[in-house]
Amino acid sequence: MMADQKKVLRLLKTARGQMDGIVKMVEENRYCMDISQQLMATQAILSRVNREILSAHLRHCVQQAASPEERGEKIDEFVTTLERILK
């Protein structure tokens, strides 16, 4: 992985902490809208992580592909992933 590992790990650990908090909120039968707000915040962090990883993929893996065919394969992988994200 060519993404900034420290940044990715920091964001993932933050998301994990938020998930732990959400589980506790559900166990405590907290207000639905508060839980939903925390879920959206966690999703936003995970989206940031995914953007970081996909950006690194374009900047490094695709750019440094050994041949035009390999570059094409990596671009196709990226497009497939982007299609899944945009559904």
Which domains occur in the chain, in start order?
5-85 (1.20.58.1000)
Fill in the amino acid letter for 17: G
Note the pTM of the prediction, 2 decimals: 0.84
In whole angstroms, how far apart are CA 36 and each of 26, 47, 60, 73? 10, 16, 36, 38
Q: For the segment 68-84, what is each residue's pLDDT rounded down to a tens digit?
A: 999 999 999 999 999 99
Helix ranges (DSSP H) in 1-87: 5-27, 32-56, 68-85
Closest C-alpha among 38, 9, 45 to residue 24 = 38
Report how far residue 12's alpha carbon sits from residue 18's, in angstroms, rounded to the nearest whole number. Answer: 10
Q: Lowest-confidence range among 19-23, 44-48, 49-53, 56-60?
A: 56-60
